[in-house]
Amino acid sequence: MANVPLGITTHAQKVCSLYKRGLRNLESFYDRRNVYRYQAVLLRERFDKNAKMTDMIKAAQLLKEGEEELFLKQHPIPKKFPMSVGGVAHQRVVTPPDWVLDYWHPLEKAQYPEYFKRREERKKEFIAMWEKEYGKSDPKDQHH
């Protein structure tokens, strides 16, 4: 759900996005910094050449051609940031759900007495709030 478009993108935003994706594509091809920077300067020159264009029909056509060129010249194995979608560390950190603490051994819970005392109070408050809002659960509805 993170990649849901939240509005209309302007022509300038589309051009900036194309430029950034072009730079990321160059990063995938050139691992030596000086070669990458040279290619990045050449790419920037191509974008700056048409920066002052006022004819929107021609600008839209250039954008379309740029998108096609990027598609045709994309790296077969693009670099990805580790924590980004598709990266090697994406969603590696597992956050256990809260109910796991209910199954701790009493000796484990004894190491954190204040925390578990407050946690039990919060659970009682939550149950009271739930029952006030939705009513008590019927024992015959529980399937065991």
Q: For 11-35, how does the pLDDT look when each residue is reduced to its tens digit (9 = 90+)?
A: 999 999 999 999 999 999 998 999 9
pLDDT score of 143 more than 70: no
* Mean predicted confidence (pLDDT) in 75-94: 90
The per-residue pLDDT for 64 is: 96
Q: Which residue, 72, 90, 112, sits at the end of a domain?
A: 72
Asked whether residue 62 is domain-assigned, the answer is yes
pLDDT score of 144 more than 70: no
The per-residue pLDDT for 130 is: 92
Asked whether residue 83 is domain-assigned, the answer is no
Give residue 104's domain range: 98-137
Residues 113 and 68 in one domain: no
DSSP 104: S
Chain centroid to Cα 143, Å, comes to: 39
Measure the CA–CA gap between 29 and 78, rounded to whole angstroms.
8
Measure the CA–CA gap between 120 and 98, rounded to whole angstroms.
12
Q: Which residue, 22, 38, 72, sits at the end of a domain?
A: 72
User: pLDDT tens digits for 111-133?
Assistant: 999 999 999 999 999 999 999 99
Share of the chain above pLDDT 90, in %: 74
Residues 64 and 19 in one domain: yes
Residues 22 and 60 in one domain: yes
Number of domains comprising the chain: 2
The per-residue pLDDT for 129 is: 95
Residues 56 and 21 in one domain: yes
Residue 99 CB coordination number (10 Å) = 7
* Mean predicted confidence (pLDDT) in 76-87: 90
Q: Which residue, 57, 72, 87, sits at the end of a domain?
A: 72
Residues 68 and 23 in one domain: yes
Measure the CA–CA gap between 103 and 101, rounded to whole angstroms.
5
The per-residue pLDDT for 6 is: 75
pLDDT score of 107 more than 60: yes
Asked whether residue 144 is domain-assigned, the answer is no
